[in-house]
Structure 1
Amino acid sequence: MKLAVFDIGGTTVKTGIYEDKHIIKQESFKTPKTFAALKEKMHELIDHEHFTGIAISAPGDVNIKTGVIEGRSMVPYLHQRPIFAELTAEFGLPVAIENDANCAGICETKMGNGRKFNNVAFIVIGSGVGGAIFINHELYRGAHLVGGEFGFMRGGTERILSMDATLVKAAHDYSEQTKTEVEGKELFTLAEQGDELAKTLLERFYDFLASSMYDLQVSFDFDAFILGGGVSARSEISSEVAKRLKNKLMDFDMERIMPEVMTCQYHNSANLYGAALNFLAQS
């Protein structure tokens, strides 16, 4: 089986070829402005190889029954159209599409750090917060296809998690207060150098995340939390969040339900692998 695999993001589309259980020839291109332009770029890969099918990781609420991506995202032309049927007709190949966070979670629970656990919450932390829920190894999509959209959790405030529990937000606040431009990863270096503001903002980031994980844990009692997205490159994040989560559980004598907390294994390739695994599961 040889699959053309695409991970469609708001700024970049990653591509690869899935063959013999591996993703090879990984490349990327800037996300096109129109659906027609996207199909043209897809042809550049598909027309030069003999493929069995097309596997896609995409933003939005993917409705497999209707063949439509519902909701909205930074790639608006993907939504509210019969995209499964259109791509199948365009390329003459079977097409499988799944939500991007779900794809990353599928990869990690099938072949990554979550594979040994039955019940897993996969949390994607990038410019916002997303995720996926797996119960007894099976993806839970929810009644309205938004299972795992942790970024919309409010935690008793007027703001949602995507507004606060990201390094992008922490870096923005640091830049605003110091009148300098920094990225999220630079906060760690600044904190290590003794910068008190950087330490405070990272502490806030850890606490926002741990508080939300506390609510999820006492609601679902997961075996493990897997952290993905940009933060997965920093292994210390999982230990820092785990420490705070355990303290919050101990406050109410609930430490016995402490889950494993770890970063993902496949990092930036998780969406591509998950899209391929989703195709195989649907075929």
Structure 2
Amino acid sequence: MYTIGIDIGGTKIKFGMFDGVSKLVKEDQISTPKEAIVEKLIAAIKEMIQDQEIHGIGVASAGIVDFQNGVVRSCPNLDALANIPIQDMLEDAFHVPVVISNDANCATMAEGTAGVAKTVSSYICITLGTGIGGGIVHNNELVHGNSGYGGEVGHMILVPNGIICGCGRKGCWEAYASGKALERMISEAPELASKNYQPKDVFQNYTFDTSCKCVVDQYLEYLSIGLINLQYLFDPEMIVIGGGVIDSSKYWWSELEGKMAAASVPIVLQQAHLKNNASMIGASLLVKQDK
């Protein structure tokens, strides 16, 4: 029997069938619907598994997740998902146990089980996508916090009274160093906006185009400040960076490391080994932990 791992993001939903700890047998994805999200997801999963037998489903979702009740309480980048009974709907559709958790926490678990952080006991995992997610592990224990908000590093204030974040507050790190923030920076640069540049175009032309270099340097500055703050605050053995933005890291990783070197404390910075599949893999591991 297989386990289903689902990663619900702001722009796409990835899901896969897993055999064992992290052996991916089959995977697929759909664009995140604007409405009837769970219903369309159920149909897509049924098409993928056909008549294969599954024993559980794990869901990684962006936003603030009520782990106990299987509900996403708030999701600034995906309002249509808030307070939908995802767990109940999936259990009714597939008649197997369903567990749901925050996507960054799932990615963090995956990197500690089968990824780059499996050799350390204290680390922070940052996911750079539409927003910024985070998971904090101390002495091999995931930090959930008193109300389940532990690890929501994207909403620490970086610039007082700054740009409005999707959460409604001003100046969050997510508003300056997420994929969505990078898109905003590009749109505010006339010479790039006129070319209809996307983030991947700006990264690819980083070393050749002064306009691209200006935007990327500013983005990396905001990113590095947040990472250095986390190092000073938690002193982890390692900071792991994953998420969709990391796919372009070959163009800017060395520059980020250079900015991180400005800190007066040692920082071990690593790219997520599981890349953009980390949350989906971590979601599948939820089922095993819940058994």
TM-score class, shorter? 0.7 to 0.9
Task: Give per-residue Cα distances to partners, 1:69-123, cap 9 Å, x unaligned.
Answer: 2223444454324432332233211111111111111111211111112111111
Contact 2:123 2:236 in 1 (8 A): yes
The residue type paired with residue 177 of structure 1 is P
Distance change (3 Å), C-alpha of 1:174 and 1:44: closer
Distance change (3 Å), C-alpha of 1:78 and 1:48: farther
Contact 1:239 1:262 in 2 (8 A): no
Contact 1:122 1:225 in 2 (8 A): yes
Match of 1:282 in 2: 290
Match of 2:280 in 1: 272
Distance change (3 Å), C-alpha of 1:68 and 1:264: same
Shift, 1:58, TM fit: 1.6
Distance 1:218 1:75 in 2: 31
Unaligned stretches of 5+ residues in structure 2? 162-170
Q: Indicate the SS of the match to 2:124.
A: strand
Match of 2:190 in 1: 177
Distance 2:94 2:121 in 1: 37
Shift, 1:168, TM fit: 4.5
| Residue 96 of structure 1 pairs with residue 132 of structure 2 | no
Aligned positions, number: 275
Task: Give per-residue Cα distances to partners, 1:104-155, cap 9 Å, x unaligned.
Answer: 1111121111111211111111222221111112211222222222221222
When structure 1 is superposed on structure 2, of 156-165 and 113-122 the one drifting more is 156-165
Match of 1:43 in 2: 46
Q: What's the TM-score, normalizing by structure 1?
A: 0.88
Q: What's the TM-score, normalizing by structure 2?
A: 0.85
Distance 2:72 2:129 in 1: 21
Distance change (3 Å), C-alpha of 1:47 and 1:74: farther
When structure 1 is superposed on structure 2, of 47-56 and 67-76 the one drifting more is 67-76
Distance change (3 Å), C-alpha of 1:133 and 1:244: same
Shift, 1:3, TM fit: 0.9
Match of 1:166 in 2: 178
Distance 1:105 1:236 in 2: 24
Match of 2:168 in 1: none
Distance 1:85 1:2 in 2: 20
When structure 1 is superposed on structure 2, of 233-242 and 258-267 the one drifting more is 233-242
Distance 1:192 1:156 in 2: 28
Contact 1:119 1:223 in 2 (8 A): yes
When structure 1 is superposed on structure 2, of 61-70 and 264-273 the one drifting more is 61-70
Contact 2:55 2:96 in 1 (8 A): yes
Distance change (3 Å), C-alpha of 1:64 and 1:162: closer
When structure 1 is superposed on structure 2, of 233-242 and 137-146 the one drifting more is 233-242
Shift, 1:51, TM fit: 0.8
Distance 2:176 2:240 in 1: 19
| Residue 202 of structure 1 pairs with residue 216 of structure 2 | yes
- How well do the aligned residues superpose, as a CA RMSD in angstroms? 2.2
Match of 2:231 in 1: 217
Distance 1:79 1:174 in 2: 29
Q: How does 1:116-127 map to 2 (within 5 A)?
A: 116-127=119-130
Task: Give per-residue Cα distances to partners, 1:150-196, cap 9 Å, x unaligned.
Answer: 22122242222112113543454344321221111222332221x22
Shift, 1:275, TM fit: 0.6
